[in-house]
Amino acid sequence: MSKAIPSNTTVSSKTVSNRHVLYCRMQSEPAGLERLCRVVRVRGFRIAGMSVECSGEHFDIALTLEGSRPIFMLQSQLLKLHTVGEVVLGERQMRSVAF
């Protein structure tokens, strides 16, 4: 991540809005999806599309997001949620995550 941005650059949100697709796998729990959506909103992104599949004890979530901030900042915040196991950007496939 640090190589993507020149050192000492100020990370600003005043740039053009971009569209991203994030795939998340999280443990199924009360308020789990609320937790996820709250972080997306607070960290400056808008949900343009969302699909959720519940398989056993976890959710597989595909988020289409719009926002001007660097997407890695949202990824790292989502990964801090205790029940989120994996967050990948774009078309990459998620590997199996044990909770």
Partner 1 sequence: MNGAQHILQAFQRHSITTVFGYPGGCIMPLYDALVDDVSVEHVLCRHEQGCALAADGYARASGNLGVCIATSGPGATNLITGVANAFQDSVPLLVITGQVPSELIGTDAFQETDVLGMTLGIVKHSYLVDDADSLPGILVEAIALAQSGRPGPVWIDIPKDILLTQVNPEAADHDKRESCESAEPRTDSAIYSAAIDKGINETLRLLREARQPLLYSGGGITLAGAEDSFREFAEHSALPGVVTLKGIGNPGRHNPNHLGMLGMHGCRAANRAVDECDLLLVIGARLDDRATGKPETFAPNAKIIHIDADSAEFNKIKAAAVTINANLNDVLSALTRGLQAQPLSIETWQKQCRTWLTTGGFQAADNEEALAPITGPAFVRQLSRIASDDTIISCDVGQHQMWVAQHYQFNHPRQHLTSGGLGTMGFGLPAAIGAQFAKPGTAVINVAGDGSFMMNAQELATIRRYRLPLKIIILDNQCLGMVRQQQELFYNNRESHINLDDNPDFVAMARAFGIPALHINRTDQIRRGIETILAYKGPMLLHVAVAREENVWPTVRPGGSNRDMIESTKPAKNKTEENAA
Q: Do residues 94 and 23 make contact, with C-beta atoms less than 8 angstroms apart?
A: yes
Binding segment (CB under 8 A) for partner 1, from list 13-21, 35-43, 48-56, 60-68: 35-43
Q: Is residue 64 near partner 1 by the rule CB under 8 A?
A: no
Among 54, 79, 89, 94, binds partner 1 (CB under 8 A): 79
Among 10, 51, 55, 96, binds partner 1 (CB under 8 A): 10
Q: Is residue 38 near partner 1 by the rule CB under 8 A?
A: yes
Closest CA to 26 of 65, 57, 71: 57
> What whole-number distance in Å separates Cα of residue 84 and Cα of residue 48?
21
